[in-house]
């Protein structure tokens, strides 16, 4: 992914304020309503899974926001799934 196109935010709880270092800076997300799903399968199926998830969101009267989170339980180096 081109760093000129994407900004990444990594969320972790901290016990004290975080100081900015280089391109890394602290941030804060506003309170928001969220939905989640779990996809199990190969990476090639992610596009279809995202489509189904967005369809579910719309069918229940919601709109997706501009930001989203993905969390990978395992990577491709650990398992073919």
pLDDT band at residue 10, thresholds of 50, 70 and 90? confident
Q: Tens of pLDDT along 19-28?
A: 999 888 888 7
Report yes or no: 54 and 61 within 8 Å, Cβ to Cβ: no
How far apart CA 30 and CA 25 sit, in angstroms, is 16
Give the residues across from 24 on adjacent strands.
21
pLDDT at 1 over 60: no
| DSSP classification of residue 61 | T
- 63 neighbors 56 (Cβ within 8 angstroms): no
For residue 21, report the phi and psi dihedrals to the nearest 5 degrees: -140, 115
């Amino acid at each position: 992914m081109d760093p000129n196109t994407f900004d990444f935010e990594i969320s972790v709880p901290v016990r004290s304020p975080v100081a900015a270092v280089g391109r890394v800076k602290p941030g804060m997300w506003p309170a928001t309503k969220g939905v989640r799903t779990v996809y199990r399968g190969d990476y090639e199926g992610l596009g279809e899974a995202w489509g189904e998830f967005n369809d579910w969101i719309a069918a229940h009267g919601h709109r997706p926001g501009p930001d989203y989170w993905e969390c990978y339980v395992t990577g491709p180096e650990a398992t073919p799934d």
